[in-house]
Amino acid sequence: MRFVSTRSGSAPAGFSEAILQGLAPDGGLFVPERFPTFGATELAELEARLDRLDAFAERVLRPFFAHDPLEEQLEEICGAAFDFPVPLVPVEAGTGLLELFHGPTLAFKDFGARFLAACLDRIAGRASGPGALTILVATSGDTGA
């Protein structure tokens, strides 16, 4: 899959390239050229994976990694990023609450941050090698650490 700039002034990029660049050269955000759709069969398959966040995420994200160097590592990336519980707590009949605070920093940002870090780790070739990869981040502080 290719990713294009919201400002339409840059060449499309692959997933890894878009992750490394952060912003498109024209200052826009990278967005997918198209969004994948899921038919009834795929939705049933997804429902069967709801008990394992890593397997669910791998299936939903697979189209975004098509033809990217990280495509073959997606299962491993999801396993590393989503290795904490995400309980769906029943509130009332037919309604549940997904608790997104069971990650290492107790914030919903663990989902995106850990996934991004796992991708960058592999892009940088450090998944099995020595050395540290430093990722600088900032937060407004309104949602915790």
Q: Are 58 and 67 in contact (CB under 8 A)?
A: no
Collapsing DSSP to helix, strand or coil, 109 comes out as: helix
Give dist(CA 133, CA 131) in Å, integer: 7
Kindly name the residue from 109, 115, 116, 120 that is annotated as catalytic. Answer: 109
In the residue annotation, 109 being an active-site residue is answered as yes
Q: What is the DSSP string of 60-97?
A: HHGGGGTTSTTGGGHHHHHHHH--S---EEEEETTEEE
Indicate which residues carry an active-site annotation. 109
